[in-house]
Structure 1
Amino acid sequence: MAKTKAAHAAGGLAVELKAQSEAIEALARQIDSLAKSTNRMLAQVDTSGEAREIQDILQGIRSGEVATYPSRIVAQLIDGENPVRVFRKFRRMTGEELAAKAGISRPYLTQIETGKREPMFPVMVKIAAALEVSLDELVPGSAKTAR
């Protein structure tokens, strides 16, 4: 009788091991399928050049070559607010401070910020330097302004 119980127990273990083995094989097939799917998606990203572009942007951020700004600043620029005013306020500068730092009069700066006057290129260079931003970031609607 002891042999019968042992044989019965061994048979039950064999069935349980077979079921676990089949479950493991099913999981392995699912993992393989997911891996293939992931590789297909990565290949699509790589062929479109997006992966390289993302890597370049991240490298630029790490190296300090690409400036980043809080979302509220980006939203203001996207909404069409004057970049000189947006960056002046972001830098916590008064109009007087920026005008002095850029070597222009306060009324002229006000006209630039309100869009009543288009500044000459050398003035924009001075304003960009005073605000510590690139010229691209001061040009309304440029690709880099909305970054």
Structure 2
Amino acid sequence: MNAFIKPLAQTDDSVTISRADYDAMVALLADAEDIRDATAVAAKLVARETEAYPVEVMDRLLDGDHPVRVFRDHRGLTAQELAGRAGISRAYLSEVENRSKPGSLKAMTKLSAALNIPLDLLAPQ
């Protein structure tokens, strides 16, 4: 798109432009929205209001690994350490990570706090 858009037709209420100019304007708007969103995330990262996770964490989540196990490994915690921090038994943690028990809301809330992650990251997919 040129810096100058040539109207094909215009009235007091409307302007008609070419499809190419319209498509270019839509693409520029999408780019501007992406830049705005990226800037907002960058500001939250700097302010420590959010955290970025390595691609390996995201790959494991997408592969279906249990989020508690993924984030426990990411934080470098043993199962015993996490269970202690969360105030739950090691056996119960194992059942949650192995999906033999879903984990109560109370337990998942404790685990999210112990892992320092939002509870919604532990929610079932």
TM-score (norm 1): 0.62
Alignment correspondent of 1:126:
110
Where relative contact order (Cα < 8 A, 6+ residues apart) is larger, the structure is 1
Alignment correspondent of 1:66:
50
SS of the residue aligned with 1:139? Answer: coil
**Of 103, 107, 110, which residue of structure 1 is paired with 2:87?**
103
**Of 75, 82, 86, which residue of structure 1 is paired with 2:59?**
75
How far 1:78 moved relative to its partner? 1.3
Q: Matches of 1:98 and 1:116 in 2, distance apart?
A: 18
**What do you get for the CA RMSD once the two structures are aligned?**
2.3
Contact 1:88 1:94 in 2 (8 A): yes
**Of 18, 42, 46, which residue of structure 1 is paired with 2:28?**
42
Alignment correspondent of 2:40:
56
How far 1:66 moved relative to its partner? 2.1
Task: State the Cα deviation string for residues 40-92 of structure 1 (Å, max 9, x = none).
Answer: 3423544xx44443333232222222210111011101111100000111111
- Which residues of structure 2 form unaligned runs of 5+? 5-20
Structure 1 residue 88 corresponds to structure 2 residue 79:
no
Q: Matches of 2:74 and 2:29 in 1, distance apart?
A: 40
How high is the sequence identity, in percent, across the aligned residues?
Answer: 35
- CA gap of 1:59–1:86, structure 2 versus 1, over 3 A, is same
- CA gap of 1:76–1:44, structure 2 versus 1, over 3 A, is closer
SS of the residue aligned with 1:133? Answer: coil
- How many aligned residue pairs are there? 106
Q: Matches of 1:43 and 1:89 in 2, distance apart?
A: 40
Alignment correspondent of 1:137:
121
Which is helix-richer, 1 or 2? 1
TM-score (norm 2): 0.72
Q: Computing the radius of gyration over CA atoms, which structure comes out larger, 1 or 2? A: 1
